[in-house]
Amino acid sequence: MIEDGVYATVVDGLFYRVEGDDIRIRVGGGEWVAPIIKTTRETIKIFLDAGELVRVSDL
Protein backbone atom coordinates (compact mmCIF):
# COMPACT_ATOMS: atom_id res chain seq x y z
CA MET A 1 0.00 0.00 0.00
CA ILE A 2 1.13 3.57 -0.54
CA GLU A 3 2.13 6.03 2.17
CA ASP A 4 0.45 9.35 2.91
CA GLY A 5 2.14 12.09 0.93
CA VAL A 6 2.07 14.20 -2.20
CA TYR A 7 2.41 12.54 -5.59
CA ALA A 8 2.80 14.21 -8.98
CA THR A 9 2.34 13.20 -12.59
CA VAL A 10 5.56 12.98 -14.55
CA VAL A 11 4.43 15.42 -17.26
CA ASP A 12 1.11 17.20 -16.67
CA GLY A 13 1.67 19.19 -13.45
CA LEU A 14 -1.14 17.34 -11.67
CA PHE A 15 -0.61 16.66 -7.97
CA TYR A 16 -2.38 14.16 -5.70
CA ARG A 17 -2.41 14.60 -1.91
CA VAL A 18 -3.06 11.33 -0.08
CA GLU A 19 -3.94 11.61 3.61
CA GLY A 20 -5.68 8.57 5.06
CA ASP A 21 -8.74 7.93 2.90
CA ASP A 22 -8.84 11.57 1.73
CA ILE A 23 -7.39 12.14 -1.74
CA ARG A 24 -7.28 15.65 -3.22
CA ILE A 25 -5.87 16.94 -6.49
CA ARG A 26 -4.25 20.21 -7.53
CA VAL A 27 -3.42 21.43 -10.99
CA GLY A 28 -0.47 23.81 -11.12
CA GLY A 29 -0.69 26.19 -8.17
CA GLY A 30 -4.46 25.95 -7.62
CA GLU A 31 -6.39 24.80 -4.58
CA TRP A 32 -6.60 21.20 -3.39
CA VAL A 33 -9.99 19.86 -4.54
CA ALA A 34 -11.81 16.53 -4.62
CA PRO A 35 -11.10 14.66 -7.87
CA ILE A 36 -13.92 14.51 -10.43
CA ILE A 37 -13.19 10.85 -11.16
CA LYS A 38 -13.25 8.50 -8.14
CA THR A 39 -9.64 8.05 -7.05
CA THR A 40 -8.48 5.63 -4.35
CA ARG A 41 -5.16 4.66 -2.81
CA GLU A 42 -5.26 1.61 -5.09
CA THR A 43 -5.62 3.91 -8.13
CA ILE A 44 -2.58 5.91 -7.00
CA LYS A 45 -0.62 2.65 -6.54
CA ILE A 46 -1.46 1.56 -10.11
CA PHE A 47 -0.20 4.91 -11.47
CA LEU A 48 2.98 4.64 -9.34
CA ASP A 49 3.70 1.12 -10.57
CA ALA A 50 3.16 2.23 -14.18
CA GLY A 51 5.63 5.11 -13.78
CA GLU A 52 2.94 7.77 -14.32
CA LEU A 53 3.28 9.22 -10.80
CA VAL A 54 6.20 9.90 -8.47
CA ARG A 55 6.14 10.69 -4.77
CA VAL A 56 7.38 14.24 -4.26
CA SER A 57 6.95 14.87 -0.52
CA ASP A 58 5.59 13.86 2.86
CA LEU A 59 2.62 15.71 4.29
* 15-45 pLDDT tens trace: 999 999 999 999 988 899 999 999 999 999 9
pLDDT given for residue 53 in this prediction = 95
Q: pLDDT at residue 10 above 90?
A: no
Domain-by-domain residue ranges, the chain?
Answer: 5-57
Question: How far apart are alpha carbons 26 and 43 in whole angstroms?
Answer: 16
Contacts of 58 (CB under 8 A, 6+ apart): 4, 5, 6
pLDDT given for residue 29 in this prediction = 84
Task: Give the predicted TM-score (pTM) of the model.
Answer: 0.89
Contact, 12 vs 53, CB < 8 A? no
